[in-house]
């Protein structure tokens, strides 16, 4: 006798960082931006006529697509928007990875990639990074069903040069290469120009980190119109109205406020560089992060110990128990004040 339980889809889901809620906490565990979004967002929230929520939103999210296209000097048909870049990436996996050959991505990277591959039954191979967490580009020359690279990588923060990425793309002209640029605004290294030269390259970015809108869920992809149209066909086979009216308005306003964006982006980068110096002084070891976090281990004290002791003080960082990285902590960059408090606590823990 079978059971209805035999037909349940079983999968190990991606586990997001926890969202604790203490009034005094310092939250450095999910790479959110410590600064509020653009003041233009407040204006929209204050003025938004709630009666409009009665109506379905524009299925094409045209206003948001136009704002993103204009900011990136692209045409509208080169832009796809989704409910956070997780949604954009999931749709890209569904749309482009249909080969019997495995898709390739690093062994240490965003831990959603293998979950989507499992969910969509895409064969995959995780290619080891070298001992400095760098990509060995020749490992990506072999036959495959697609390539995904987060740049800067998560959770390491390491950024590959455009030249290295282009080399991987040149060796992979028969598959789609996805570049996940969730953290690119904290570097100066966007591969955005490569989509003009390679029609098989898709660049995915998010509003969650550099634009302080993790709670709104907005992400986008940029690529040649055929890639974008194929993704839209898949998305409209699943959900006709992914973006809410508010996310379209808020997203468009946020991307237009370039002045505010530059200001908070620079602040996070400055605080990151200050934090690097302090962590080094305390005996932490880490690569040169180009993201809004630092991925570090201590020369003497175990990551778990530091994690637990920070937690007692309501300072939350991220600790992954996966092989090769179990002794590292990923510390998001908060405000200057938050990072000073973190360093003070670290001094006590480390001594
Ligand atoms: C945060 C993150 C995302 C997803 O961000 P959204 O909030 O879904 O836009 C995608 N890729 C990487 C590497 C990330 O760190």
Residue 351 pLDDT greater than 90, yes or no:
no
pLDDT tens readout for residues 144-174: 999 999 999 999 999 999 999 999 999 999 9
32 lines ligand 1 (CB under 6 A): no
pLDDT tens readout for residues 260-277: 999 999 999 999 999 999
Q: How far is the CA of 329 from the centre of ligand 1 (A)?
A: 18
pLDDT the model gives residue 141: 98
Structure letter (DSSP) for residue 323: T
CA distance linking residue 24 with residue 337, whole number of Å: 13
Weakest mean pLDDT among 13-17, 93-97, 242-246: 13-17
| pLDDT, mean of residues 32-50 | 97
Question: Which has the closest alpha carbon to 187: 272, 116, 106?
Answer: 272
85 lines ligand 1 (CB under 6 A): yes
pLDDT the model gives residue 239: 94
Bridge partners of 124? 103
pLDDT tens readout for residues 68-96: 999 999 999 999 999 999 999 999 999 99
269 lines ligand 1 (CB under 6 A): no
pLDDT tens readout for residues 202-239: 999 999 999 999 999 999 999 999 999 999 999 999 99
Domains (range + CATH), the chain: 20-37+259-350 (3.90.1150.10), 39-256 (3.40.640.10)
Mutation test residue for ligand 1: of 80, 108, 115, 208, the one with most atoms within 8 Å of CB: 208
> Cα–chain-centroid distance for residue 251?
17
Burial class from Cβ neighbours inside 10 Å (0-12, 13-18, 19+) for residue 216 reads buried
Mutation test residue for ligand 1: of 80, 89, 203, 209, the one with most atoms within 8 Å of CB: 209
Letter string b/e over residues 138-165, b meaning 16 or more CB atoms within 10 A of that residue's CB: eebeeebbbbbbbbbbbbbbbbbeeebb
pLDDT the model gives residue 312: 95
Whats the size of the chain, residue-wise?
351
Say if residues 350 and 283 touch (Cβ distance below 8 Å): yes
The residue behind tokens 């995780």 is 126
Residue 188 pLDDT greater than 90, yes or no:
no
pLDDT the model gives residue 16: 85
Strands (E), 70-123: 79-82, 103-106
Please, how many CA atoms are within 13 Å of residue 129, restricted to the half-sphere of its CB?
A: 22
Residue 248 pLDDT greater than 90, yes or no:
yes
Q: How far is the CA of 115 from the centre of ligand 1 (A)?
A: 14
Say if residues 215 and 246 touch (Cβ distance below 8 Å): no
Residue 18 pLDDT greater than 90, yes or no:
no
Q: Is the dihedral of CA 260, 316, 152, 114 positive or negative?
A: negative
204 lines ligand 1 (CB under 6 A): no
pLDDT the model gives residue 17: 83
Q: What is the mean pLDDT of the chain?
A: 96
| pLDDT, mean of residues 132-136 | 97
208 lines ligand 1 (CB under 6 A): yes
pTM exceeding 0.75:
yes
């Amino acid at each position: 006798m079978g059971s209805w339980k035999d037909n349940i889809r079983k999968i190990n889901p991606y586990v997001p960082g926890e969202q604790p809620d203490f009034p005094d906490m310092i939250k450095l565990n999910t790479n959110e931006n410590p600064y509020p979004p653009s003041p233009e967002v407040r204006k929209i929230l204050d003025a938004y006529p709630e009666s409009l929520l009665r109506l379905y939103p524009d299925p094409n999210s045209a206003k948001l697509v136009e704002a993103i296209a204009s900011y990136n000097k692209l045409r509208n048909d080169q832009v796809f928007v989704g409910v956070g870049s997780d949604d954009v990436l999931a749709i890209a996996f569904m749309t482009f990875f249909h080969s019997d050959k495995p898709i390739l991505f690093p062994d240490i990277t965003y831990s959603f990639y293998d979950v989507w591959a499992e969910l969509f039954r895409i064969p995959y191979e995780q290619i080891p990074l070298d001992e400095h967490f760098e990509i060995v580009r020749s490992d990506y020359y072999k036959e495959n069903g697609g390539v995904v690279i987060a740049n800067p990588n998560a959770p390491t923060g390491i950024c590959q040069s455009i030249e290295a990425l282009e080399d991987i793309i040149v060796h992979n002209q028969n598959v789609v290469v996805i570049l996940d640029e969730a953290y690119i605004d904290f570097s100066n290294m966007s591969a955005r120009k490569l989509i003009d030269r390679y029609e098989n390259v898709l660049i995915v970015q998010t509003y969650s980190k550099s634009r302080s809108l993790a709670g709104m869920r907005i992400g986008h992809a940029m690529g040649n119109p055929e890639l974008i149209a194929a993704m839209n066909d898949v998305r409209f086979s699943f959900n006709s109205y992914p973006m809410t009216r508010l996310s379209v308005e808020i997203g468009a306003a946020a991307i237009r406020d370039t002045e505010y964006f530059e200001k908070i982006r620079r602040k996070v980068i400055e605080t990151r560089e200050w934090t690097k110096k302090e962590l080094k002084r305390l005996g932490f070891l880490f690569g040169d992060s180009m993201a809004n976090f630092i991925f570090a281990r201590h020369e003497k004290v175990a990551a778990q110990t530091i994690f637990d002791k920070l937690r007692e003080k309501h300072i939350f960082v991220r600790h992954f128990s996966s092989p090769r990285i179990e002794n590292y902590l990923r510390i998001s960059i908060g405000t200057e004040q938050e990072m000073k408090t973190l360093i003070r606590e670290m001094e006590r823990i480390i001594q």
